[in-house]
Homo-oligomer: A and B are copies of this chain.
């Protein structure tokens, strides 16, 4: 996306909501009195870990796939992601009956690749560098005419991710603040747009791993920081904030809270104990941000998007292996 390309607007989020409604799950908004007592505020959790594919990623992928005109759709879609976006795009493409190509780096986790291949996508292996990944994507595009659907910088993806916040506001209309994790910024920027259009008085707080806090730094400096080496248990939040995502966050009032991995793992365990929900560290970080900043949230009505739940039950991070 070129630096001056138009950004997605609230109408795009509304269009996305209508477009994905026949395919996506309207996930439940869950509450737990015991957790409210722990946190000292009133929590409403949008359980996107119960979304198709186990993560909110299906919303953006589905919006992108079903936005394509028939001629483009016939050539399929391509992306680079060995994680939730790859599986989500593969599922959305299967639902539309079109081809999906996923470029995956050597060394990606086998179980995640199996999920992507299980949806019928074609895997293309490449060296584990950004240059190799982009070259492989370009090659697939040239050979097939497939449309690139970037995991978080694509405006159709951003608009789709914003639909989770719309549904959350529908179920919990009296929220004071919404907390979501930020990595590449697809969910964060989609949520900004949804809140600004539907409930502008609701504050947005982003939770970012302390070991990959380049969004915090980028917003402080007023320019995108791209040279950093992520070091965090939150595997979904290691990516670099996208360019349009940066512009959207910069143009709105958002606050970023950095969270240590230990606090994130403790929150993940607490969500399992108190809410009976298994979420990824990349999702639990939002609750950790609330628990680690009690005065800031005290007595308020806090909405949290639990972004995904794709965790191996045999490798829970608080269990010794």
Residues of A within 8 A of B (CB): 25, 28, 30-33, 47, 49-50, 52, 54, 269, 272-273, 275-279, 309, 312-314, 316, 318-319
Measured CB to CB, the closest approach of chain B to A2, in angstroms, equals 38
Instruction: Contact check, A314 vs B319: say whether CB atoms are below 8 A apart.
Output: yes
Measured CB to CB, the closest approach of chain B to A90, in angstroms, equals 13
Kindly report which residue of chain B lies nearest to residue A319, judged by CB atoms: B319
Task: Tell me which of B277, B312, B319 contacts A277 (CB under 8 A).
Answer: B277
Residues of B within 8 A of A32 (CB): 50
Pick the 10 closest A-B CB pairs, nearest first.
Answer: A276-B309, A28-B28, A276-B278, A49-B276, A272-B313, A273-B313, A272-B278, A269-B313, A319-B319, A276-B277
Instruction: Contact check, B33 vs A52: say whether CB atoms are below 8 A apart.
Output: yes
Measured CB to CB, the closest approach of chain B to A27, in angstroms, equals 9
Residues of B within 8 A of A275 (CB): 50
Residues of B within 8 A of A318 (CB): 313-314
Measured CB to CB, the closest approach of chain B to A172, in angstroms, equals 14
Residues of B within 8 A of A277 (CB): 276-278
Complex-state Cα separation, A52 to B278, whole angstroms: 18
Kindly report which residue of chain B lies nearest to residue A28, judged by CB atoms: B28
Complex-state Cα separation, A272 to B28, whole angstroms: 17
Task: Tell me which of B28, B54, B278 contacts A278 (CB under 8 A).
Answer: B278
Measured CB to CB, the closest approach of chain B to A32, in angstroms, equals 8
Residues of B within 8 A of A33 (CB): 52
Residues of B within 8 A of A273 (CB): 312-313
Residues of B within 8 A of A319 (CB): 314, 316, 319
Measured CB to CB, the closest approach of chain B to A165, in angstroms, equals 19
Measured CB to CB, the closest approach of chain B to A187, in angstroms, equals 17
Residues of B within 8 A of A279 (CB): 276
Contacts A28-B30, A30-B28, A319-B319 given; does A50 touch B276 at CB 8 Å: yes
Kindly report which residue of chain B lies nearest to residue A280, judged by CB atoms: B276
Complex-state Cα separation, A278 to B54, whole angstroms: 15
Complex-state Cα separation, A50 to B28, whole angstroms: 11
Complex-state Cα separation, A54 to B273, whole angstroms: 10
Measured CB to CB, the closest approach of chain B to A19, in angstroms, equals 20
Residues of B within 8 A of A276 (CB): 47, 49-50, 54, 277-279, 309
Residues of B within 8 A of A278 (CB): 272, 276-278
New contact pairs (10) apart from A28-B30, A273-B313, A276-B309, CB-CB < 8 Å: A25-B31, A28-B28, A30-B50, A50-B276, A269-B313, A272-B278, A272-B313, A276-B279, A278-B278, A314-B319
Residues of B within 8 A of A314 (CB): 318-319
